Structure 1
Amino acid sequence: MSNQAPNEARVIPLRPPAGRPGTARPASERPATTAPRPRPAAPAPGEPQAPKEPLWRDLVGDVLRRERLAQERTLKEVADAARISMPYLSEVERGRKEASSEVLAAAAHALGLGLGELLSLTQGELTRRRADRSRGRSTAPYNGLCLVA
């Protein structure tokens, strides 16, 4: 016969066991209750909704795409120069991916910008969109007529 211990794991609960229905715990063992946070009131039907704050990844992507197109470079050229995949750069430009600072720096350098310049241009874009929103203008890019001679 062997003196092996049974193959049972010792379970230590993270929370105290819930009392049985109908049994009250002493006040010292009850969790403190807090009032639920009030939700912001939804606008009435027909009332205009406040526009959402733009996401940083959308702003950075817009700036990267605008700079790339201003230089008349393809997505492949910039992705190769930045040593990142073309699909990933495309998703960053479209605001689908939250790029790391290393990826943003690589994309900025591939476009001849420093990371500080990219962030400064992005901050300028945020400021412009806020000003447009406060004046009631659309924040969609290229919302006007452009004539080229």
Structure 2
Amino acid sequence: MSDPTTFDPARRKPRPRPLLRTLVGDVLRRTRREQGRTLADVARTARVSMPYLSELERGRKEASSEVLAAVCDALRIELADVLDEVRRGLIDTRATQRAAKAPVIRLDAARRRRAPAHRDGDVQALAA
């Protein structure tokens, strides 16, 4: 399945949007690894199959609310904390997209615009 996109009229190209399942999976995997736990351990505790948990962590599967609650319980984290991390990821993605749109000004062009044309006999002072 392809990622949903939004249309950016200024660029005339579709701009990819992050998927919720990908961001949730990233948070679950990062949390599990920070705890030093194995996929098998968390899957067993959450009562889901190890391949299914792997698919969730990789953002390939959408977790139902029941499965997500079971995985959160197995990781001993609150669902609200997972969603807060996802929110931060969305904010970071949006900031990165805005930064990518910012115009790039070449240094030599900026210097040419700022440097006044001097005439013979003018004295220029340089600040260090």
Band the TM-score falls in, shorter-chain normalisation: 0.5 to 0.7
* Structure 1 position 50, deviation (Å): 4.5
Distance 1:77 1:58 in 2: 22
Instruction: Indicate the structure with greater strand content.
Output: 2
- TM-score w.r.t. length of structure 1: 0.57
- Counterpart amino acid of 2:45? A
Indicate whether 1:100 and 2:59 are aligned.
Answer: no
Distance 2:40 2:8 in 1: 46
- TM-score w.r.t. length of structure 2: 0.65
Larger Rg: 1
- 2:119 counterpart residue number: none
Map 1:36-115 onto structure 2 (within 5 A). 49-115=13-79
Check 1:69–1:48 CA distance in 2 against 1; reply closer, same or farther (3 A cut).
Answer: farther
- 2:100 counterpart residue number: 136
Instruction: Kindly provide the CA deviation profile for residues 106-128 of structure 1, in whole angstroms up to 9, marking residues without a partner as x.
Output: 11111111111111111111111
Identify which of 62, 82, 87 aligns with 1:123: 87
Instruction: Kindly provide the CA deviation profile for residues 77-133 of structure 1, in whole angstroms up to 9, marking residues without a partner as x.
Output: 111111111000000011110110111111111111111111111111111121122
Q: Which runs of 5+ in 2 are unaligned?
A: 1-6, 102-128
Distance 1:41 1:127 in 2: 18
Q: Which runs of 5+ in 1 are unaligned?
A: 1-39, 138-149
* Structure 1 position 42, deviation (Å): 9.3
Instruction: Indicate the structure with greater helix content.
Output: 2
- The percentage of counterpart residues that share the same residue type is 51
Distance 2:96 2:76 in 1: 29
Secondary structure (helix, strand or coil) at the match of 1:136 reads: helix
